Amino acid sequence: MNTLAGPLGNARPLATAAGPMIDPFGRAVTYLRVSVTDRCDFRCTYCMAENMTFLPKKDLLTLEELDRLCSAFIAKGVRKLRLTGGEPLVRKNIMHLVRAQGRHIEAGHLDELTLTTNGSQLARHASELYDCGVRRINVSLDTLDADKFRTITRWGELDRVLDGIEAAQKAGLRIKLNAVALKGFNEHEIPSMLRWAHERGMDLTVIETMPMGEIEEDRTDRYLPLSKLRADLEQQFTLNDIPFKTGGPARYVEVAETGGRLGFITPMTHNFCESCNRVRLTCTGTLYMCLGQNDAADLRTALRASDDDAYLSAAIDEAILRKPQGHDFIIDRNNRPAVPRHMSVTGG
């Protein structure tokens, strides 16, 4: 038994599990994604409605409660923790939580602590992220054209994101860029983004848009199968499949002409459910066992019902036993989302 002291409160004993959590289909759950806030300083058109209604702050778990929940999952075999949002770096005092989770890295209970961000706040936080034990981050970036960037984010500033990426690299953080492939918007820009990323030592992953949450535009107008994108890229690049993995759902190729890696995340055309090792926790303490299903577990009640982590641990066990085999995303002209919640609620 080890004791982890952190900036969020008293030391708490961490009794690590004998093995990982196993779902009904024999998959080990070793990866937790935590949405620390549903708020974001962008309003990306494929992700959010322009006039979003965010959760009242009183409904959010405190940073101390998030720390306790994350620690409970780590004690049960989670080895990788990703903080997401919304935009995680807009949450007040978020670096206290990052530093608290960094103690699990120091103690050897966690293999990786990482973050998905839009990059807007990176210049301010990059050095401290590295100091807290973060070594790798994902930055969402769908275009390198400043006008198109403002259009897709509704009010974001590309230069601010690029400055954040530069600051993160100077701090020693490895960066993977995530780009949602959008028909008629950035499909012809992917080759130049690929070269730009690889020239700077960054991987690029392209992602199919997913039917989550009500938005103003018709998703069928933007949906681009990555099978088509890959075929188009192979007209000018040599793409060699490689077994490289980061713990997430991306399938990677090496680009012979650049020497860099390109990832494909294909929830629509080729889902990755057979190897899913992930669950997602929201900032209200709701656990989603699958990104594309509505079933969820209320961990906030268990968290607040007792200071004894045994009760919380049992609630987590019950939830893992309900993890489904997979999702069934469909995009059609009815424009109905597969699930009503926006991606910013569950976290990317």
Bind-site residues: 33, 40, 44, 46-47, 82, 86, 116, 140, 176, 210, 273, 276, 278-280, 290
Secondary structure of the chain in the HEC alphabet?
A: CEEEEECCEEEEEECCCCCCEECCCCCEECEEEEECCCCCCCCCCCCCCCCCCCCCHHHCCCHHHHHHHHHHHHHCCCCEEEEECCCHHHCCCHHHHHHHHHHHHHHCCCCEEEEEECCCCHHHHHHHHHHCCCCEEEEECCCCCHHHHHHHHCCCCHHHHHHHHHHHHHHCCEEEEEEEEECCCCCCCHHHHHHHHHHCCCEEEEEECCCECCCCCCHHHCECCHHHHHHHHCCCCCEEEECCCCCCCCEEEEECCCCCEEEEECCCCCCCHHHCCEEEECCCCEEECCCCCCCEEEHHHHHHHCCCHHHHHHHHHHHHCCCCCCCCCCCCCCCCCCECCCHHHHCC
Shortest CA distance to 71 belongs to which of 320, 322, 281? 281
Q: Which residues fall in the annotated binding site for GTP?
A: 33, 82, 116, 176, 278-280
Q: Which residues fall in the annotated binding site for S-adenosyl-L-methionine?
A: 46, 86, 140, 210
Query: Is 348 within 8 Å of 116 (Cβ atoms)?
Result: yes
Q: Which residues fall in the annotated binding site for [4Fe-4S] cluster?
A: 40, 44, 47, 273, 276, 290
